[in-house]
Amino acid sequence: MRFFAALLRAALVSLHLAAAGQEGAVLDYHLKVRLRDQPAAVESGFRLVTSPALAVRARVKRARFGAWRIEPLAVGGRKPSPALLMQALGLCYFSGPTAQVVPLGQGMTFNHHWCRLWQVQAAPEVGAYAYLAEVAPGLLALAYLSAALPEGDIAAVEIHLASVSLGPGTVPAEEGTALLRTLRIWAAPPGTGGATEAGAGEAEEVP
């Protein structure tokens, strides 16, 4: 746990909680991927952009969600491929707490704003460690992910949250728990194609 806490501290040092230049949120991530046929990892980045919820007129008050999209971000002069971007989208989390995440007894302070850390519960056979930061009351964002994949072209992946800006209209993403579905796919028995399906851009809400 100390090892991952140290990684989180390094990854989140530039977390900035302030009004963004738009209504939603902007989250920048560093991405490190090691392909199975290559010895060295490749580093790049991506940006997750969320939009505010659409205004609807209804007598029944429903949960409000916004959309999200992903954009390439150069890190060290390198941008991820479109295929890798789609996989990265399936590894993101921007939603409220669910039954598969638990709060930790520690947090991080950024610009006088204290963020509680949460841990994602993954099956032991997955070999993944994922932590979320409570960037706003009841709103969690992926802060750190490290995973070794048992099959597929990607052997290992690591994601660090580099920065996040929250606008006044920031709300959870409609399919903001994509990471949870991907972890369940990774936990599927070997040979079922679970690892190759991960990150296909699909997601589902956890009841």
The secondary element (H helix, E strand) that includes residue 7 is helix 2-11
Decide: 67 and 173 in contact? Cβ < 8 Å: yes
Q: For the ranges 17-21, 54-58, 103-107, which has the lowest average pLDDT?
A: 17-21
**Cβ atoms of 96 and 118 closer than 8 Å:** no
What are 169-197's pLDDT values in tens digits? 888 988 899 999 999 988 876 655 554 44
pLDDT at 131: 94
Q: What is the pLDDT of residues 153-170, one digit of tens each?
A: 888 899 999 888 888 888
pLDDT band at 94 (very low <50, low <70, confident <90, very high): very high
Q: Which residue has the tokens 């090892």?
A: 3
> Residues 68-87: pLDDT tens digits?
888 988 887 788 888 888 88
Q: Is the dihedral of CA 158, 164, 166, 167 positive or negative?
A: negative
Phi-psi region of 152 (alpha: psi -120 to 50; beta: other; left: phi over 0): left
Per-residue confidence (pLDDT) for residue 165, from 0 to 100: 87
The most confident of the ranges 5-19, 44-58, 124-138 is: 124-138
The per-residue pLDDT for 190 is 63
DSSP 23-90: SSEEEEEEEEEEETT-SS-EEEEEEEEE-PPPP---SS-----B-EEEEEE-BTTB---HHHHHHHHT
Whether this model's pTM surpasses 0.85: no
